[in-house]
Structure 1
């Protein structure tokens, strides 16, 4: 009869140990999912575009997030072709940049990084940047699947 109590006790302790780990991983994933679902322009984003002839908006239809940027002034003739590559580079940095910051953090953020990796892969989060000129014509549209970012892949290999 004593062996039954010992076996039951060990089983309960094991269930609590592994169940707690699973519970917290689920909680971290839900936190990250809620952050992405409520993504909006931050004061830092607004300050970065302060003084520039740009206005922006975010349409968040999680897992598809659309960033709309519109120029409020006309470009000099012929400059649109030189601006497009820079806009493409900047939109990719905006989408993929946060992953490089995560991979540089301490090991105490590994649970958060694991949750982000899990959410990005499970939900297949996509960010689309649509940039328009003053008249509303699309200058550039860039669709970035976050799990395909090189920075995401680096983060994933550093955590695993």
Structure 2
């Protein structure tokens, strides 16, 4: 048995066929590699791919880091805006309280004073009404009223 190198056709590199593979014409060129060369080729290709993929991985990592930084910056900006809106809202509430509440308290005090005056006036009116009702029921006033009527009748009869 004779050992013969196995050759494979791999596109990409041109080389002469080994002497072990017969060809109809000696001037034609073909793609061929032995298995030993194939392992070297794959190792070389893997190393270039790994170096390319490492470069691409680093680019991806940088892009991801930049995007993450942009997202975090935008999130911080939105958070600060929302917090600022809250503090601005609290400031407006505080300002409203400082401006309006003293006026409201003063108006309430005036209203209470007016209510007290009205309550006193109502009590006075009730007392006067009661006194007037009591005056009508006094006997002496009734007698005086009768005497006035009689005197008016006497004056009219003389005329």
TM-score by length of 2: 0.26
Higher-RCO chain (CA-CA 8 Å, sequence separation at least 6): 1
Pair member with larger Rg:
2
Which structure has greater helix proportion?
2
TM-score by length of 1: 0.26
